[in-house]
Each structure stands twice: as C-alpha cells, then as structure tokens.
Structure 1
Amino acid sequence: MVPLVAALVVTAVATAATRPQQETMTSQCAGLAEELHQATSSLHEIEKTLEELTHLETTSWPKLWTNQQDDGKFGDAVQAFLQEEAGRLKHIQKVTRKHRDELQQKESGCGRMKVTAPGLGLQQ
C-alpha cells in the first residue's frame, strides 16, 4: 500500500510541476495571438492611410491651396507635408511588418495549439 501512495504522490507532484508551465505556455500563446492580431490590424490601417495620402499626393489637391499671392509656396508646403507623412507611415509600416513576422515565428512555437483571434483563446 505504501508504494502505491508513494507513486500517487510522485505523480501528483510531477503533474503539479508541469501544470504552471503549460498554463504559462497557454497564456503566452494567447498573448501572442492578441499581439499578432493588433499588429495585423495596425498594418491594415497603415496601408489604408498610405493609399489615401498617395491619392492626395498624386492629385492636384495640394495645388488647390495655392493662391496667386504666394506663388504656389503654400501648395508646395502641403505637398511636402504629405510626402513627409507618407515617409513616416512607410517607416512605421516596415517596423510593424518586421514585428508581425517575428510574432508569427514565435506563434509557430506554440506547438499543436492553434492560436485564434482575440477573445476566442486557444484551441487544441
């Protein structure tokens, strides 16, 4: 009887020791899923905004701000501002893509757990 109790105690201790590690992995994978979702959403918003800025840049919209007294300087300033903002967004897009790619690599380490959209948790 004593060996059976000892075996049960050893099994219980081993199970208890692995449970926090599994829970930690589960929460890490869920955190990765949330972060990946946010990065993907951010990229989508950045791309939409870049399209709008590019459209404004390539149309004659900046020239609408030109009046005869400033010889087009204000329109040129608007054009330069749009180009600068597009450049900033492209940099943010590049950094966000890199971050998203890193998250996707980490997510692949979640093993057979399938990471799902936020609020849905993990599926095994």
Structure 2
Amino acid sequence: MKFIAKVNWVLILTWALLLFHPYVLAWAQDTDVIKSSSYYLWIDVVSLGGFAMLQLIILAKIKSLYGFTLVLLYTLALLQGMRIMLSIDTLLTLTGVLFFLLELLVIFYLIGVRGYLRSDKGRTAFGLPVESHQ
C-alpha cells in the first residue's frame, strides 16, 4: 500500500505540473491559453481531483469508501481514455506520442491498483475482512 501511495504522489505532482505549466507560460507571455483545450482542461482538473481524493482515501484507509475507491479507479481510467481519444490529432508529434504513452501507463496502473484492492492483500491492507471463495 505504501508503493501505491508513493506512485499516487508522483502522479499528482506530475499532473499538477503538466496542468498548470501552459497557464504559467501564458501568464508570462501575456497570451490567451484557453483556445481549443477546454476539454483537456476539464479532464485534467477532474483527474487531478480524483487522484487527490483517491490518495486521501488510501492514506486514511476509510473502510466505508472502499467500494467508492474501486469505482473511482475505473472512472479515472475512463477519463484518461477519453483524453487519449480527444488527442488523436496530436499523435503524430513527439509530445503527442509521449503523452499517449504516459496516459496509457496511467490507465494500466489504475486498473492494476483496482485489481490489487480487490485481492485479499488489498482488502486486508484496507482493514476489511477477506472474502471467502466458495
């Protein structure tokens, strides 16, 4: 569980930097940054908030939000998939390919975390009883 918390911190910080970097550059150059990227902005803001909420639930080990955590993981994975679908036009650039690979890695990570939380180890790490497999 400590590994998941550390990776989540790295993802939160990376996402925050990637989210706010264009706005800092636009402020320094006194230009308008929101032209056609409003969909990306909303997806990134919701993803960042989702990762922060996921991190709080995992660190506090709130048993009553265990099911919500599983749903939140799939929702974040679907949001990242939608981000990939919206950025199809940039896949022929180097930065587009790098963002595609990063988002694909995040999707696989989120699905893996959900699988871990569904396992017996994940349930015991959350402080829940282990499901009996009959």
Which TM-score band applies after superposition, normalised by the shorter structure?
A: 0.3 to 0.5
* Larger RCO: 1 or 2 (CA < 8 Å, sep 6+): 1
TM-score, normalised with respect to structure 1: 0.40
